[in-house]
Amino acid sequence: MSFDWDDMRIFLAVARGESLSAAAKVLKLDPATVSRRIARLEEKLGAALFAKSVQGYVLNQEGERLMAHAMRAETAMGQAAEELRGEAGQITGTVRIGAPDGSANFLLPQVCAAICDDNPGLEVQIVALPRVFNLSKREADMAITLSPPTAGRLMSKKITDYKLHLAANRAYLDSHAPIKTLKDLKGHRVIGYIPDMIFDKEVDYLAETGVDRVSLASNSVAVQVNWVRQGAGLAIVHDFCMPTLPDICRVLPEKISLTRTFYLVRHLDDRRVERLNRFAELLTLGLKHEVNHLEALVK
């Protein structure tokens, strides 16, 4: 089956804008035309590409699969144009990313490796620290955060929402009192952050569970996850971590289900740096795709 690049261009605009009106503004078309073109593409493919609601258009599983191909086609078209202009088509140089260690351990490695596969002259540095990075001091070229910045010469863009649930090792659950209600959590060992080292209110998960203290605490997500893996207790765990933890299962998922957001934050002065703009777009799309992919694997 052949694809019309113009259809792919419209598909990408809707996927990125998550609405017909946002895509129409970028494409300089009217929303009705964009809607017809998306409907035509879905008819040609024989599959819906978006979950459509009054809130907007969000890629479904089939749409995510097409997104990867469309991005590669877009990159190829961009590289061809650059070569015709006598410019290098690839991203080169060094890009340093600051990130909380949850995303740094479980998302960034595979996403950044894929970007580097397509850009051999690129070097990516991941600084994994559970704190807010100071981009004004140039600690990193860009940072992944859990809250948008409220001060400074910074620009931010939402990457994606992600989910978290209370979880435990099956061996732990089998050897301890059953947990059927929130009240049953009393008497169980709870794992979490060191209270005075919580770097962002968005990671104060236990405040939403009714648990008032933790028995095992660390400022590192990786340490908390390893405690859970070893059967040391219960913790709030990112859903995107769970596919790497085959013996872990959710606990009270209907009672404790959290949603948080990743943002990409950059220095305002970098908005005209094309190599960073291109890398930021690839990183944003890659992270969104990876979170959706991993969360879909969680039963």
Mean of all residue pLDDT scores within the chain: 86
Q: How confident is the model at residue 152 (pLDDT cuts 50, 70, 90)?
A: confident
How many angstroms separate the Cα of 138 from the Cα of each of 97, 215, 278, 296?
11, 37, 19, 36
Please say whether the beta carbons of 228 and 245 come within 8 A.
Answer: yes
- What is the model's pLDDT at position 86? 41
Q: Among the ranges 81-90, 199-208, 211-220, which has the highest mean pLDDT value?
A: 211-220
Region 69-97: what's the mean pLDDT?
68
- What is the model's pLDDT at position 80? 59
- What is the model's pLDDT at position 2? 56
Region 128-139: what's the mean pLDDT?
61
Q: Which pLDDT tens digit goes with each residue over 1-50?
A: 556 778 888 998 898 888 898 888 888 899 899 999 999 999 988 999 99
- What is the model's pLDDT at position 15? 87
Q: Which pLDDT tens digit goes with each residue over 23-36?
A: 888 888 998 999 99
- What is the model's pLDDT at position 164? 95
Q: How confident is the model at residue 85 (pLDDT cuts 50, 70, 90)?
A: very low
pTM: 0.69
Q: Which pLDDT tens digit goes with each residue over 169-205?
A: 999 999 999 999 988 888 899 999 888 877 778 878 8
Q: How confident is the model at residue 224 (pLDDT cuts 50, 70, 90)?
A: very high
Residue 213 has pLDDT above 50, yes or no: yes
Domains present along the chain, CATH in parentheses: 5-84 (1.10.10.10), 93-160+261-296 (3.40.190.10), 162-259 (3.40.190.10)
- What is the model's pLDDT at position 186? 86
- Tell which wins on pLDDT, 226 or 200: 226
Region 150-179: what's the mean pLDDT?
92
